[in-house]
Amino acid sequence: MSKTVLVLVETVDDYLPLLEQAGYRLIRAPSPQLRTEAIQRHAREIDAVLTRGPLGLTAAEIEALPHLQIICVIGAGYEQVDLAAAAARGITVTNGAGANAAAVADHALAMVLALLRDIPRADASTRRGEWNRVISPSVSGKRLGILGLGAVGLAIAKRANLGFDMSISYHSRTPRPDVPYTWYDSPLHLADAVDILVVATPGGAATRHLVDAPVLKALGAEGYLVNIARASVVDTQAMVVALAGGQLAGAALDVFDDEPAVPDALKALGNTVLTPHVAGQSPEAARETVTLVVRNLQAFFAGEPVLTPVRN
């Protein structure tokens, strides 16, 4: 008997046929209204749910799906999935750790280059017929700090170190003995030691506002912030104040608190680079992401260990 997957995500549509080719029946519900209707109409048919961190799956929704056995989250973050409710039912949760790490790391370095070299404004002014040859900081040789050294953080570190001769420092809960980078015991101490701080840690309550006003002050008037993780990790209001007041040189952001809304204060600043949560999106990343979901589902329904379990 084929298994039924409720698909809540809207970013990997081109590769969902990989699931159908593997024998899964899909119920697609990429909007809040379709999601509610699908759960009400097909509750007893659903064996698995495919979601992403910000979309999550609530305790009430888990309770409403009596045959739900596994929740697959694309991407590394799973902050809006109710892990306690899943654990209480014995439901397995997996994530997409590493599947889109290359794409996110590429985007992070692109944002570093765009921010420091002021590429968006240079492009815009040239298109207006201007010839503003502004002197911008070099990227090579800068001190890069990474908040969170998982698959994405490691991919960013590799590119920055080998491609741009940057020294790499990081903060995570514990130091990693398998990397040649410098560990700092807090975001504050890390920010004080680097020129560029890249946020690459999952979202959720445990990481909320790790980058706050004191951290931004430590990063300083010549420091740059790049966030390709979750907006909740950064205190947005404190960041806007620092950017507007010259206490922070610039910020490149791919994530925002109330997506798709972007604060007007950020759009009005000349020292920001803003992209619409696309760091992890590429054809290659989407294919790898869905392939990992297929492999996790196949392993689970065959009674084998899943590849990327989320521990509660």
Taken as a whole, the chain contains a residue count of 312
**Residue 79 a catalytic site member:** no
230 is catalytic: yes
Residues 15 and 289: their CA atoms lie apart, in Å, by 9
Q: Which pLDDT score, from 0 to 100, does residue 262 have?
A: 98
Q: What is the mean pLDDT of residues 106-130?
A: 97
Catalytic option among 25, 277, 287, 295? 277
| CA angle at 138 for the pair 223 and 211, rounded to the nearest 5° | 20
* Rounded average pLDDT over 36-65: 97
pLDDT in tens, 25-42: 999 999 999 999 999 999
DSSP string, 60-86: HHHHH-TT--EEEEESS--TTB-HHHH
Mean pLDDT along residues 4-19: 95
- Residue entry with tokens 């972007």: 262
Q: Which residue has the higher pLDDT, 56 or 1?
A: 56
Instruction: Tell me the β-bridge partners of 7.
Output: 28, 50
277 is catalytic: yes
Domains of the chain: 4-99+283-301 (3.40.50.720), 101-274 (3.40.50.720)
* Confidence check: pLDDT of 139 > 70: yes
- What value does the mean pLDDT take over residues 128-153? 97
Pairwise CA distance, residues 185 & 21, whole Å: 47
Q: Can you tell me the mean pLDDT for 84-113?
A: 96
**Which pTM does this prediction carry?**
0.93
Q: What is the pLDDT of residue 1?
A: 63
pLDDT, tens digit (0-9, with 9 covering 90-100), for 249-305: 999 999 999 999 999 999 999 999 999 999 999 999 999 999 999 999 999 999 999
Q: Is 159 helix (H, G, I), strand (E, B) or coil?
A: helix
What CA–CA distance (Å, rounded) separates 295 from 291?
Answer: 6
pLDDT band at 6 (very low <50, low <70, confident <90, very high): very high
Contact (Cβ atoms closer than 8 angstroms) between residue 104 and residue 180: no
CA 182 to chain centroid, in Å, comes to 23
The one catalytic residue among 35, 52, 159, 230 = 230
Phi-psi region of 209 (alpha: psi -120 to 50; beta: other; left: phi over 0): left
